[in-house]
Structure 1
């Protein structure tokens, strides 16, 4: 019924019980989970997990936090892996890529170069992108526009109304997850309630950004609890409350939006799409 469009199920936090986590997600009504890679070193892992679990699909990319030490050889590997994966229906996007100006010590110019080159790979193969935009919404958008990629998701979106408008008008979807569940996250909740419904997708970013009910309601403390893909069902309930929408209507909209963001998901409509009553 629900699609988690951003979940790092390959993370070490899930090594002891990964199968139980996805089984619990299925019981919560989660029928699809998108696993973005973060570095060349985990390309094989996300692919293997996606092929082992019918609920999972994957993306390939180099996360900005993994750009130190990454260079042209990594980009060459990414391009080869993408080309080799085009016949794999479980491969759906380039990601997670983007810029991070929150974590100190990262080289902004090097990040930007790697991000831009990955956008070019996405454009070459007509693939959507899963974007990391932490304190970098304007800079990520600028390169997106310059390279000409117009499909994908701005993950964990936390920008202004004007920044949201630019992404949406460019054709991107905005990912909302655990942060939206905190009453103190007023701007995120306002965006979730007011941006066009067709611009929204749901996510967890598990094991990070746990929702309020896993964190004693303390906004900013969410990384102390392990998030899981099953929590996207609760995120959906919050979005339904914010927008005054019944969950069955919301589920169909979220599926349609996820497919619009990642068209290769359409191949899994029989198993992932919500059923019409």
Structure 2
């Protein structure tokens, strides 16, 4: 089966790919994953991410400060982000957000970094790549407070009601490996009924493998397995899901739309 897929969230710059990144890229291309959105996690990773994205025109960078890497962040990194965005012209701001699941989270520091990145995304008119774990309500409130924002909540794990609120704000949901697990019944219901135009597919490589590759390093080449499960849940041909989600990602991230 020949699909044209867009992996909307892949940490392809992660050290787990240092030994075989070019081979992993070839495998992804062979499986129809021609494009990936690669979000940053901290300031120190920005130069390497830029180099990785230079490997292929289908690798697109996003720059930001991830809440799970708080110990690496400094106020001057927030100050550096606008200049970096101005110079590098990324497709999004992120990965940023809130994570109240981690042990003893410094919620106030997370909020400070998150709020400023929302403002930067608004000022540059760029979409956001959002992390929201045990913090979806507060993320929604922050989006409303700043206003004028768009983007995707990646690896969505919130409720059906929270999803409806995000849809009203024009935000997409990123769906990856967790949807392939039989126990993910709430996620299955959301994916089966949500607006197709707000659905994105992702791997979150090297993390969150699908059920068939539990415990292994994940990689973009496996995105088709996510597409197949989403298609099954929606009762659609997998080609339709692949095409729709690819176009959704190209539209959200401002990437040249394909003709034909």
> If the TM-score is normalised by the length of the shorter chain, which range does it land in?
over 0.9
TM-score, normalised via structure 2 length:
0.95
- Structure 2 gap ranges (5+): none
Partner of 2:238: 247
Aligned to 1:65, which of 64, 68, 92? Answer: 68
Partner of 2:130: 131
Deviations 1:99-125 (A, max 9, x none): 001111320010001000011111111
Q: Give the C-alpha shift of residue 200 in structure 1.
A: 0.6
Aligned to 2:35, which of 32, 56, 59? Answer: 32
* Structure 2 SS opposite 1:187: helix
| Counterpart Cα distance in 1 of 2:132 and 2:238 | 28
Q: Is structure 2 residue 88 aligned with structure 1 residue 85?
A: yes
Partner of 1:47: 50
Q: Is structure 2 residue 79 aligned with structure 1 residue 76?
A: yes
Q: Is structure 2 residue 240 aligned with structure 1 residue 237?
A: no
- How many pairs does the alignment contain? 257
Q: Give the C-alpha shift of residue 259 in structure 1.
A: 2.5
| Counterpart Cα distance in 2 of 1:39 and 1:26 | 27
TM-score, normalised via structure 1 length:
0.90
After TM superposition, the structure 1 stretch with the greater mean CA deviation from structure 2, 45-54 or 29-38, is 45-54
| Counterpart Cα distance in 2 of 1:84 and 1:105 | 36
Partner of 1:153: 152
1:207/1:226 contact within 8 Å kept: yes
